[in-house]
Amino acid sequence: MIPSLSIRVHHVESFSHVNGPGVRTVIWTQGCDLHCHGCFNPATHDMNGGYRIEIEELADQILSHSAQTEGITISGGEPLLQIPPLTALVELIRNNSKSSIILYSGFTWGSIQQLPDIQKLLDNIDVLLAGPYIETHRVASAMVGSSNKTLHFLTQRYQESDFNKVSPAEVIITSTGEIHFCGIDPIQWQK
């Protein structure tokens, strides 16, 4: 029997309008050891926070509404601290839907290319946003938090102009009344 894979997740938002082109499911992974000064997701840093979910269960959750979304965006925390389960997840999504896949990482593009077992993951990603958040270089525009970040279009699905059209932030009110600020510039909405 093949052991099941799980991934540590902070939060999943099923219908976001500010985390890439179109309506997207967003997965914030849990755990980050980069601790970028000024990060607006510090709750995702604790390596033991969030919750574990089986890859198949998370994929089923995403696929259940993939007809109403354009794709998924994976952020964090630092997603690339969980390469094996993340690779399994994106392969399931890619093989069972037409969803696009965008991935954020705080690692630089050069560092990402040196990670073991990374190529299979990159083969299933449409766009990768790479680089740590540097508060003194903050731009919070077109899905880029700071000017040092680089966009890597790994397929022909999108181009830079698609990201320029994305709104910087949104407020989501859940069915239980919780309020979530989401996007590249949620700080401005919380003031």
CA distances from 141 to 116, 138, 151, 158, 184 (A): 31, 9, 13, 17, 7
Q: Which domain holds residue 94?
A: 6-190
Residue 105 confidence (pLDDT) above 80: yes
CA distances from 80 to 110, 116, 135, 187 (A): 13, 10, 21, 25
- Structurally, the chain folds into a number of domains equal to 1
> CA angle, corner 158, sides to 154 and 164, nearest 5?
120
What is the arithmetic mean of pLDDT over 37-48? 92
What are 29-42's pLDDT values in tens digits?
999 999 999 888 89
Average pLDDT over all residues of the chain: 92
Residue 124 lies in a domain: yes
| CATH assignment at residue 48 | 3.20.20.70
Amino acid 74: pLDDT: 98
What is the arithmetic mean of pLDDT over 74-91? 97
> What is the DSSP annotation of the chain?
-PPPPEEEEEEEEEEESSSSSSSEEEEEES--S---TT-S-GGG--TT-SEEEEHHHHHHHHHTTGGG-SEEEEESS-GGGGHHHHHHHHHHHHHH---EEEEEESS-HHHHHHSTT-HHHHTT-SEEEES---GGGEEEETTEEETT-EEEE-SSS--HHHHHTS-SEEEEE-TTS-EEEEES-HHHHH-
Give the whole-number percent of the chain exceeding pLDDT 90: 75
Residue 1 lies in a domain: no
pLDDT class of 3 with cuts at 50, 70, 90: low
pLDDT class of 168 with cuts at 50, 70, 90: confident
Residue 53 confidence (pLDDT) above 80: yes
Residue 71 lies in a domain: yes
Angstrom distance (rounded) from CA 188 to CA 191: 6
Residue 128 lies in a domain: yes
Amino acid at 104: Y
